[in-house]
Structure 1
Amino acid sequence: MSFPTAGPPPPLTVGLPDGRRLGYTRYGDPAHRAVVYQHGFGTSGRALPPDAALLARLQLQILAPDRPGTGQSSVYRPLTFPSFADDVVALLDALGIAGPVGVMGWSVGGVHALALAARHPARVAAGQLLSTCLPLGEPEAYRHLSPLWKALRWGQVSFPWLNRTTFLWLSGQWRRHPDRTIDWFIRLMFAEEKRVSHQHRALLRDAAAWGFAHHGRGVYDDAQAWCRPPGFRIEDVQAPVRLWHGAADGVWAPGNIPYLAQRLGGAPVHLLPGQGHMLYLENWTAILEEMAGMMNA
């Protein structure tokens, strides 16, 4: 699948009630129905295919906010899933969007999408979880984590200074050597993620460099929030939700996706053979067509 070669739209900002700035990228016509995109860990809202023709056909716009400490968003401590859900509602209010919106989240952004739907049910009409993760700090979900993810959470909680130092160093690498850094990350990926990332190298490079602004503070705070109790119940999500996951996902194996779908009232799952963690880039048209249909319903 090919996308237009034009880059993403220019970044925008709004003021939040407490005086902070929230950065976001708007894809599509502001007059069309809104979908909120929650970005993944270590990246930003600028990681979406800029397919204006597709959005025009479906009469959708996408609002992709950057979490605190990412892009032009002010640093905020302590970041939580509920605090960012409230930030997104403040963004919608500032833009005059009062009706229910769609929400989608990729990777850990899926947990942020769930938090928005659970905390503000009247503002969410439909949701999609794309290669989603589980909240690492919820005891019930923790029992379903793989040994690797349990170890990663233990490291983040036990040695936060080490992670802070790592993200600070990576921020400098993304700022000074973005091409070398994206190539290094791609070499470390699993086979399916590596294949797709090669095809979308420039998009992912620029989105990650934007994501590691503020000396990597936003990435660190995002990791800390992910490891703490989530502050919402998955079962409180009222909007219809669909899950998209790759059977060859090397980052978040699909084994616990049926468990998450069950907690969402038996939400349908698209399990795609041979696809990995970056599947949203390969299935962008089908994902948006499904969202448009869910919002029409």
Structure 2
Amino acid sequence: MPAPSAEPLTITLPDSRRLGLTRYGNPAHPAVIFHHGYASSGLSVPPCAELLAELQVQVLAPDRPGAGQSDVDENLTLASFAADVALAVQALRVPGKLGVTGWSAGALHGMALAALYPARVAALHLLSPILPFGDPAAHEEFTIGWKAVRYANEYLPALGKRAFAEISEEWHEQPDASIDKFLTLIFGPPEQVVGFEPANRALLRDAAVQGFTHEGQGVYFDSRAICRPLSFSLSAIEAPTTIWQGTADTIWPADSLHYLTDRITRAHLRLLPDEGHMLYLKHWEAILRQLRAEMG
């Protein structure tokens, strides 16, 4: 019997917290770990059942603490979540080495997993990655807007926690209006959003609704985690690393990514002309094919 296209899973961690994951594909196959973006969840993986069967690979998409079925972790760090994922992979008896990927803020969690568990990771793909907010060297590459976000997160945490609770309520009460606001933020004026595929709109909407469970606490603590100083070195990443970046990305400028290529020994920047921050949705097949080839 074929595996379901999206199978919800829950792992109980040693400290009794629940870690929710979504599995796509056959559990007997090697796994690609997909780290979702900020304020999202493991439901943001594009449907690709036939491709997974062809490649003989599964995708495991964990929900970070406070998203979906994952319990809130007030002490969340990049390193602690990497440990959560490593425990889940062990509990699920995933065979072989892992392909690891992460979109946007999820790329930071992908880097942590690859740096802290190098023996388990065969390849790392960073999709429209952001830079670690907790590294002063990365901070030099930030736009004024991102520097303001960093400042607010560090010095106005109570304000942020209330704001995420209000945003969570909006996502659950008005999911369609909320996704339209999000797409306008990504793409610009509403007329530029018209061509966005309805299936992708629904995918991101449902993933964000799950991301804003627990009154937005998960998003709040995730924002705190990505602003902490790194407890690992990017030079510890041994796996071949591909950075997928669009030249038209309005969220994070491509010219700042030398920060990553300077520090990750085997990193390669793959620039895609005229693509924006959500390029992974369009290029998911190419990403998976390359990852699977690198996994052996």
TM-score higher than 0.5: yes
Decide whether aligned partners of structure 1 residues 253 and 24 sit closer, same or farther in structure 2, where only a CA change above 3 A counts: same
1:142 aligned partner: 139
The letter of the residue matching 1:115 is A
Structure 2: unaligned runs, 5 residues or longer: none
Whole-angstrom distance in 1 between the partners of 2:197 and 2:223: 22
> Equivalent residue for 2:60?
63
Cα distance in 2 for partners of 1:103, 1:76 equals 22
2:266 and 2:10 map into 1 onto residues whose CA distance is 37
1:249 is matched with: 249
Of 195-204 and 76-85, deviating more is 195-204
Pairing 1:140-219 to 2, within 5 Å after superposition: 140-191=137-188, 194=193, 195-196=195-196, 200-219=200-219
AA matched with 2:169: G
Deviation at 1:264, TM superposition (A): 1.0
List gaps (5 residues or longer) in structure 1. Answer: 1-6
Aligned twin of 2:271: 271
Contact in 2 for aligned 1:8/1:46 (Cα 8 Å)? no
Write the deviation string for residues 5-24 of structure 1: whole angstroms up to 9, x where unpaired: xx961422111111110000
Tell me by how many angstroms 1:151 deviates. 1.4
Say whether residues 1:293 and 2:283 are aligned partners.
no
Partner of 1:4: none
Q: Secondary structure at the match of 1:74?
A: coil
More displaced 10-residue stretch of structure 1: 93-102 or 183-192:
183-192
* Amino acid in the other structure paired with 1:247: T
1:90 alignment partner, one of 62, 73, 87: 87
Structure 2 residue matching 1:263: 3-state secondary structure:
coil
Count of residue correspondences: 290
Q: Could you tell me which of 101, 104, 126 is aligned with 1:104?
A: 101
Q: What TM-score do you get using the length of structure 2 for normalisation?
A: 0.94
| Partners of 2:28 and 2:94 within 8 A in 1 | no
Counterpart code for 1:93: Q
Question: Could you tell me how far 1:232 is from its partner in structure 2?
Answer: 1.3
Contact 2:238 2:265 in 1 (8 A): no
Question: What are the Cα deviations for residues 137-183 of structure 1, in whole angstroms up to 9, with x where unaligned?
Answer: 11222222222211110011111111111110111111111112112
Mapped partners of 1:10, 1:267: distance in 2? 32
Match status 1:14 vs 2:11: yes
Shift of 1:274: 0.5
What is the identity percentage for the equivalent residue pairs of Structure 1 and Structure 2? 48
Residue 235 of structure 1: aligned partner? 235
List per-residue Cα deviations over 1:6-62 (Å, max 9, x = no partner): x96142211111111000000011111111111110101100111100111111100
Q: Is the 8 A contact 1:26 1:61 kept in 2?
A: yes
Root mean square deviation, CA, Å: 1.7
Alpha-carbon distance in structure 2 between the residues aligned to 1:196 and 1:210: 21
Amino acid at match of 1:150: K
Query: Which moves more between the two structures, 189-198 or 277-286?
Result: 189-198
Q: Does the aligned pair in 1 maintain the 2:108–2:131 contact within 8 Å? A: yes
The question of whether the paired residues in 2 share the 8 Å contact of 1:186 and 1:198 is answered with no
Q: Is the 8 A contact 1:8 1:49 kept in 2?
A: no
- Deviation of the 1:269 alpha carbon: 1.4
